[in-house]
Amino acid sequence: MITLLEVGAGGLIGAPARLLVDQAVSSRTRGIFPWGTYVVNATGAFLLGLLSGLAAYHGLDRGASALLGVGFCGAYTTFSTFSWETVRLVEEGALGAALRNVAGSLLVGLAAAGAGMALAYLA
């Protein structure tokens, strides 16, 4: 039951954080590319990599992992919005932007997660 509350508390913070970051980025960019979701998912991948590294290399406790990793990062990052925005780009005929979104999100997400783990390892 405690883990469920930790995950819920993290999600309670992560979901509004996602909205605020998405809005802040989107309000500063032009065009059809979904920069807000892109930034949210990249920063979330970095944070989850960092937390995973802290758990693996430095014994971050399970409660903090549940609160921050599952709860916050789970609510903060968004695969569903990424998928919907990619389909929307395809439907609008912006195939190049759709491909850049998929490839860029995958490559940047993996690099960000790896960088987070590496940072935790070095800490």
CB 33 within 8 A of CB 97: yes
CB 74 within 8 A of CB 7: yes
Q: 12 is written with which tokens?
A: 């309670």
2-50 residue pLDDT tens: 999 999 999 999 999 999 999 999 999 999 999 999 999 999 999 999 9
Report d(CA 24, CA 31) in Å as an integer: 15
Q: Which residue has the tokens 């990424």?
A: 82
| Residues 41, 44, 46, 52, CA torsion sign | negative
What average pLDDT does the segment 63-84 reach? 97
Q: 49 is written with which tokens?
A: 């990599």
62 is in which domain, residue-wise?
2-122
The total domain count for the chain is 1
- pTM of the full predicted structure? 0.95
